[in-house]
Amino acid sequence: MSPDRSSPSLDAQAQMILRANDRGGYTVPSARLYPFQWNWDSPLTAIGWACVDLDRAMREFEMLISGQWADGMIPHIIFHAPSDGYYPGPGAWGTNHQPPTSGITQPPVAATCLRRIVDGATDREAALTRARPLVAALFAWHRWWHEIRDPEGSGLVACLHPWETGRDNSLDWDAALAGVTPRVDVAGLRKDILHADPAERPTHDYYNRVMTLVEEGKSVAWDGPGFMRRSSFRVCDLGIQCLLVRADEDLTTLAIELGMTEEAASLERWRVRSIAAMARLWDPASRSYHSIDLRTGLLAKAISVGTFLPLYAGAVDRAQAGALAELMRGTMLRTRYVAPTTQPWNDGYDPKRYWRGPVWPFMNRILADGFLRYGFADIAQRLHDDTRDLILRGGFREYFHPETGEGLGGGDFSWTAATWLVWAGQDIAA
């Protein structure tokens, strides 16, 4: 779908995409490329649904938690209905869960999106009441993050697979993935490259490494502590760390309103501990935060979109916020469309390949929120205006080329449509 340039019509097109991708209570990210329910896509799409149908928005969360595991994890994919258009499907994960799911998780953005929807509801009281079981389920998931993925209580949570970070093939994982010996060859099984240009997708070598990690998860029957011990990839992703800190804050607010005081107290304790632990992720030389390889203790070197997420988490002091703003202003001067997922001067930057360079609309909204939180309205405005231009030029694509503005990856993308409805299609960045 190639949008015309009038905003009302774009609003209608964004709504049409949500409806076309609706599979009855959950929204697929993009019909052919991602034909199931994805964990972090879902809440980020629900905020778009809330603009047109609050009930449908809440349903999205209810379907998401229907895939929750007994230990609290909410999986990264829930295979509610069969589709042979995607690899790795349920058979490749072998989780023996009902409904079928993958064996890993994804960034915890659900609580923040849920709070936004409740706060925006006309009948806020009714929305809050409906949110109660969701808050309980999300609390169990946050506990899973803070306990199963941080057994020593260090304050840094671990990711055991690059797909958990959502920034699948970011340069941030190159060093850690180099330590994974590929033990499978899945090149011939891939379906993603039938639906999107292979030059815009991860490489075969990457797939062989990440599917080796899936085999490791299967070898311990996806047991939470067992996988922590077994996985040859164990990083603290700055992105997850910050999204979780922010989500802890938002879930605390909802829990307090619902009278869930013990849950609220735990969430606040975890949040404070997580922020304190982030001191380990600050690199004075680059004056920025980085992800860390928990196996080697080494910080990832590249400057990625993750670098700016501590602002969204409210986890930095004024001086650090100023340093991050300076970094983004440098990118704004040197890049036509911000924010590239990797700064163009990093070795390995690839403007077309998924999380190694392209601009992602939903991520720009999150970054803008963080910059606004610290009063950098000019940066938030630039992120907003660039996102708007990109969608106007290229349509509701998955991601965009930071220099040419070309639309890339999947088409008619749900969270791009939602981002238009809640933010990019508005006049101002706030």
Q: Between residues 166 and 310, which has the closer beta carbon with respect to ligand DGY?
A: 166
Q: Between residues 340 and 410, which has the closer beta carbon with respect to ligand DGY?
A: 410
Please state the closest distance from residue 170 (CB atom) to ligand DGY, in A: 12
C-alpha 123: how far from its chain's center?
29
Number of residues near ligand DGY (by CB under 6 A): 4
Q: To which residue do tokens 């004024």 refer?
A: 318
d(C-alpha 89, C-alpha 186), whole Å: 13
| Residue of 53, 62, 71, 168 marked active site | 168
Site for ligand DGY in 189-208 (CB under 6 A): 192
Please state the closest distance from residue 163 (CB atom) to ligand DGY, in A: 4
Q: Between residues 141 and 163, which has the closer beta carbon with respect to ligand DGY?
A: 163
308 near ligand DGY, rule: CB under 6 A: no
Decide: 341 and 359 in contact? Cβ < 8 Å: yes
CA-based nearest residue to 314, from 360, 257, 247, 384: 247
Decide: 87 and 194 in contact? Cβ < 8 Å: no
Residues 6+ apart with CB under 8 A from 287: 320, 323, 326, 327
Q: Between residues 22 and 192, which has the closer beta carbon with respect to ligand DGY?
A: 192
Please state the closest distance from residue 12 (CB atom) to ligand DGY, in A: 28
Q: Between residues 192 and 216, which has the closer beta carbon with respect to ligand DGY?
A: 192
79 near ligand DGY, rule: CB under 6 A: no
415 near ligand DGY, rule: CB under 6 A: no
Q: Between residues 163 and 222, which has the closer beta carbon with respect to ligand DGY?
A: 163
259-271 burial, b at 16+ Cβ within 10 Å, e below that, comes to ebeebbebbbebb
222 near ligand DGY, rule: CB under 6 A: no
CA-based nearest residue to 131, from 110, 157, 109, 155: 110
385 near ligand DGY, rule: CB under 6 A: no
d(C-alpha 336, C-alpha 59), whole Å: 38
Active-site annotation holds for 168: yes
What backbone torsions phi and psi does residue 283 show, to the nearest 5 degrees?
-110, 110
76 near ligand DGY, rule: CB under 6 A: yes
Question: Minimal CB distance to ligand DGY: which residue?
Answer: 163
Over the window 148 to 187, marking each residue x when it contacts ligand DGY by CB under 6 A and - when it does not, the resulting string is ---------------x----x-------------------
Instruction: Give 38's DSSP letter.
Output: E
Please state the closest distance from residue 344 (CB atom) to ligand DGY, in A: 23
CA-based nearest residue to 160, from 182, 143, 171, 145: 145
Please state the closest distance from residue 336 (CB atom) to ligand DGY, in A: 26
Give the dihedral sign, CA 153/154/157/158. Answer: negative
CA-based nearest residue to 156, from 289, 287, 294, 268: 294
d(C-alpha 243, C-alpha 278), whole Å: 13
Please state the closest distance from residue 168 (CB atom) to ligand DGY, in A: 5
Q: Between residues 168 and 406, which has the closer beta carbon with respect to ligand DGY?
A: 168
Please state the closest distance from residue 306 (CB atom) to ligand DGY, in A: 16
40 near ligand DGY, rule: CB under 6 A: no
Over the window 91 to 130, marking each residue x when it contacts ligand DGY by CB under 6 A and - when it does not, the resulting string is ----------------------------------------
384 near ligand DGY, rule: CB under 6 A: no
Region of residue 221 (left: phi > 0; alpha: psi -120 to 50; beta: else): left
Please state the closest distance from residue 76 (CB atom) to ligand DGY, in A: 6
The Cβ of residue 4 has, within 10 Å, a number of other Cβ atoms equal to 9
d(C-alpha 230, C-alpha 220), whole Å: 8
Decide: 329 and 195 in contact? Cβ < 8 Å: no
Q: Between residues 170 and 288, which has the closer beta carbon with respect to ligand DGY?
A: 170
CA-based nearest residue to 327, from 314, 313, 342, 347: 342
Active-site annotation holds for 60: no
Active-site residue numbers?
Answer: 168, 398
Binding site for ligand DGY (CB under 6 A): 76, 163, 168, 192
